[in-house]
Amino acid sequence: MTDQLKRLHDLFGKYASGDASAAELQEFWQLVATHGEEDFLSEQMQQWWGQEEDLQLGVSGEKTLQRILSKMPAQPKVRRLKPLWAAAAAIIIMAFALFYFLHQPPASKLPVAKVTNPSFKNDVMPGVTGATLTLADGTVVPLDSAGSQLSLLQGGTRVAAVNGTISYNGAPTSPEKIIYNTLTTRRGQQYPLRLSDGSLVILDAGSTITYPVGFPADKRKVQVHGQAWFEIAADAARPFIVKNEQKSIVVLGTSFNVKAYEEADLEVTLVAGSVRVSNGSSNKVLLPGQQAVLSGNDINVNGNAAISEAIAWKDGNFEYKSRSLTHVMQDVARWYDIDIVYEGAKPTDTFTGGFSRTITLTELLTILEMSRIHFKLEGRKLTVLSR
């Protein structure tokens, strides 16, 4: 065995188990590109895939391997990777990429194998940085990542948008002079906002936040619909309040995620600091690592919340742990701005895994199809096919 093949053998084991570093991952892919047609690589894949009873993405490794092998022409020994096995290898590599994602920090890039599928008549690009700003007088200003340069005054507050971020800079406002702006993202958009107190808000796709251009001296209050990430500037004299209809979150200085789309209950996931959530007459205080679900008049607190799953979107990723496919598809619809229909009953499958929000829709669907669900894409209409 050559030194390169020996190194590939070592890296393959680390990659398959999810223990490879970022540098080792890059080296692994370089060696795969160099030796991708060697018997050695196919044998390593078969050995690892065959011994895995159930990968995290919910696919039986042994059964999948048998299906792959059953389609190959019978021969005593495969000397080179034939086209069918090469395609199978691409699928296996993609499975490794999905498995590997769950063991890497958010900044890691997820390799994705592109597989041609005749069910996909076109492709859809991922979401972009963009939003619309509604000023106090009703004027609507489009914002994007680079083209929109904005500089104006709202009351005594300077408003500026440069290179995909909008920010407010001004002194506290008297209560009788408060004026409001509204930032709105369509499906397929995301946008960051720096409030006048220095707090950072990142607004996810299909979301809205209404806020004072300058906060008064006694409190800071905003109204949110959809999903937003908050990093609140500490100010003991002015508690920060996030409202969603009759529900509210009160903080002094903290980092947390709010998910309040119409189709689901409101979720508050606390990363740092402390917040008090209120739902009607019910109140609960959250500690870091906890998630509150506000449903009806109840508040249910999960003390072992999947924090990385809840906040993955702000770091440019999707991440799921035993989530229903319909839940996943709701996120996909918002980010890719597509309409989803189900052929027959909605699937009851769950999905565990992750992928980058920078990949195209067909790349994402190729990953999801490994969970034995199939799709048909025509324009911006995605059909989830019955089995």
For residue 250, give Cα distances in angstroms to 48, 51, 157, 253, 383: 50, 50, 24, 10, 41
Q: Which residues pair with residue 341 across a beta bridge?
A: 383
How much is the pLDDT for 93?
A: 47
The contacts of residue 194 (CB under 8 Å, 6+ apart) are: 165, 166, 167, 168, 200, 201
- What is d(CA 262, CA 254) in angstroms, rounded to the nearest whole number? 25
How much is the pLDDT for 73?
A: 34
Convert the pLDDT of each residue in 198-216 to its tens digit: 999 999 999 999 999 999 9
Q: Which of 209, 176, 185, 206 has the alpha carbon at shortest distance from 195?
A: 209
Q: Are 220 and 238 in contact (CB under 8 A)?
A: yes
Radius of gyration of the chain (CA): 24
DSSP reduced 3-state for 282? strand
- Residue 17 pLDDT > 70: no
Q: Which of 295, 269, 338, 274 has the alpha carbon at shortest distance from 126?
A: 338
- Residue 223 pLDDT > 70: yes
How much is the pLDDT for 89?
A: 46
What do you get for the CA distance between the two ends of the chain, in Å? 45
- Residue 46 pLDDT > 90: no
Domains of the chain: 3-101 (no CATH), 128-309 (2.60.120.1440), 312-384 (3.55.50.30)
Across the chain, what does the average pLDDT equal?
79
Convert the pLDDT of each residue in 146-200 to its tens digit: 556 788 998 889 999 987 899 999 888 777 789 999 999 999 999 999 999 999 9
- What is d(CA 91, CA 85) in angstroms, rounded to the nearest whole number? 10
Q: Which stretch, 99-113, 148-162, 169-183, 226-240, has highest mean pLDDT?
A: 226-240
- What is d(CA 157, CA 196) in angstroms, rounded to the nearest whole number? 8
- Residue 19 pLDDT > 80: no
For residue 156, give Cα distances in angstroms to 215, 295, 314: 11, 39, 31
Q: What is the 3-state secondary structure (H, E, C) of 141-185?
A: EEEECCCCCEEEEECCEEEEEECCEEEEECCCCCHHHCCEEEEEE
